């Protein structure tokens, strides 16, 4: 019996799709693999991944939880999305989205835009005045999304460093106790913050949630919603700022165009979102479980089977994107990439993430036209132990 391919696949590059993932995509859209001690179906082609993202027969929860081998960090992630319990997911996950989607209204995003641009300008000014080599990650990529999520939740900016480190600890798959301890710190802090905002509300998401349903939501539930915003709306944007910068440094002609024409920033952001896969691809796989039998490209996925939707591979599928590996600011009517998912679980914070990324890449190479890595790219270290992956340091000169 042939041994199954085992995720994660080795990747000689710190950016892009692993060669084995590409090879499996060429062989067919669906492949059985092994991941974390269990078998799963790996789906790699654009059409099939997009279709399954919108298929309600795929869920977050495992119908047979006794078979699950999820890490503590991933279990926490599923619980935050109200997707850890098969019996309650169908009611609790939609309720979570119903409460959070209005919090990301067009009005709020429009108001946030000016504040985000101000944050970016300040951070870039500080970076420009710093001693070289400087750390782009610590100077820009890490603080900006932290500031933004603190603004959203009404968290004092003085606490942003603690919040950021807690988020990283929560998604650490290498140390279960560390994950549990740091997440408990997040819960304690947010619950206390909710209690304060019942007395002194502000213009923030937590205060709005306190007021909905005539104040019927419990502090604990509001804290859970706030923690979901924090933990899902923060680390992924950090990762994309870092990867986006590296992608543009790899593509000097596109970078020069962007520096000269900042109105190209939205196009650059879409290419970054499409191509921003790091390390062994931990930030480009969406895990699901089949809640009933599903047939995909002639393969029957049985109820309870684990399914890994390879959005990173789908986003470089040549069937969907001509010259799919190219970073191209002039793509003509490209298909919608799957970086934010698709269908009923389409990322709630996608508009905000685009605003943040656009603000960064409109400014970064205009403010620092000589920006370059201070170390060889291959010396950068992708953090495989975190669910979201990412870097801890990006040394640069400018």
pLDDT tens digits, 267-276: 999 999 999 9
Torsion sign across C-alpha atoms 121, 124, 130, 136: positive
Rounded to whole angstroms, the Cα distance separating 343 from 55 reads: 8
What number of CA atoms fall less than 13 Å from residue 105's CA on the CB side? 9
Q: Give the residue from 289, 337, 347, 288 showing the smallest Cα distance to 313.
A: 337
For residue 35, what are the CA distances in angstroms to 42, 171, 270, 299? 10, 18, 29, 19
Residues 6+ apart with CB under 8 A from 352: 104, 109, 112, 148, 152, 233
Q: Tell me the Cα Rg of the chain.
A: 21
Residue identified by tokens 């990747």 is: 11
pLDDT tens digits, 18-68: 999 999 999 999 999 999 889 999 999 999 999 999 999 999 999 998 777
Rounded to whole angstroms, the Cα distance separating 241 from 238 reads: 5
Residue 101 phi/psi, 5-degree rounding, is -55, -45
Please report, in tens digits, the pLDDT of each residue of the chain (398 residues total): 579 999 999 999 999 999 999 999 999 999 999 998 899 999 999 999 999 999 999 999 999 987 777 778 888 888 889 999 999 999 999 999 999 999 998 889 888 999 999 999 999 999 999 999 999 999 999 999 999 999 999 998 788 888 778 878 888 888 889 888 999 999 999 999 999 999 999 999 999 999 999 899 999 999 999 999 988 878 899 999 999 999 999 999 999 999 999 999 999 999 999 999 999 998 999 999 999 999 999 999 999 999 999 999 999 999 999 999 999 999 988 899 999 999 988 999 999 999 999 999 999 999 999 999 999 999 999 999 998 899 999 999 99
Do the beta carbons of residue 187 and residue 227 sit within 8 Å?
Answer: yes
Rounded to whole angstroms, the Cα distance separating 395 from 372 reads: 9
DSSP one-letter code for 131: P
Domains and CATH numbers, the chain: 6-397 (1.10.630.10)
């Amino acid at each position: 019996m042939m041994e199954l391919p085992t995720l994660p696949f080795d990747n000689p590059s710190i950016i892009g799709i692993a060669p084995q993932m590409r090879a499996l995509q060429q062989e067919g859209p669906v492949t059985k693999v092994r991941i974390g001690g269990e078998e799963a179906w790996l789906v790699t082609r654009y059409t099939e991944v997009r279709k399954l993202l919108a298929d309600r027969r795929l869920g977050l929860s495992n119908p047979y939880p006794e078979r699950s081998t999820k890490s503590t960090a991933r279990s926490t992630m599923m619980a935050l999305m109200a997707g850890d319990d098969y019996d309650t997911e169908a009611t609790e996950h939609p309720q979570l989205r119903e409460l959070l989607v209005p919090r990301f209204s067009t009005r709020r995003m429009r108001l946030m835009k000016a504040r985000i641009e101000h944050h970016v300008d300040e951070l870039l000014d500080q970076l420009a005045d710093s001693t070289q080599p400087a750390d782009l990650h610590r100077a820009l990529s890490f603080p900006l999304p932290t500031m933004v999520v603190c603004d959203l939740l009404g968290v004092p900016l003085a606490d942003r460093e603690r919040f950021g480190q807690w988020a990283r600890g929560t998604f650490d798959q290498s140390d279960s106790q560390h994950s549990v301890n740091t997440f408990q710190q997040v819960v304690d802090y947010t619950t206390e913050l909710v209690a304060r905002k019942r007395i002194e509300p502000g213009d923030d998401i937590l205060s709005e949630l306190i007021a909905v349903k005539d104040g019927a939501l419990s502090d604990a539930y509001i804290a859970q919603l706030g923690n979901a915003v924090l933990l899902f709306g923060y680390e992924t944007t950090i990762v994309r700022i870092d990867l986006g910068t590296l992608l543009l440094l790899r593509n000097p002609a596109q970078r020069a165009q962007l520096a000269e024409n900042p109105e190209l920033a939205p196009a650059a952001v879409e290419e970054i979102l499409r191509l921003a896969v790091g390390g062994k691809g931990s930030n480009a796989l969406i895990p699901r479980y089949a809640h009933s039998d599903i047939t995909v490209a002639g393969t029957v996925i049985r109820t309870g089977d684990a399914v890994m939707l390879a959005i990173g591979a789908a986003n470089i599928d040549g069937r969907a994107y001509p010259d799919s590996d190219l970073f191209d600011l002039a793509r003509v009517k490209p298909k919608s990439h799957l970086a934010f998912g698709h269908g009923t679980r389409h990322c709630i914070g996608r508009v905000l993430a685009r605003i943040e990324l656009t603000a960064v890449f409109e400014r970064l190479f205009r403010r620092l036209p000589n920006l370059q890595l201070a170390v060889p790219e291959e010396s950068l270290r992708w953090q495989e132990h975190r669910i979201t992956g990412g870097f801890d340091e990006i040394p640069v000169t400018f």
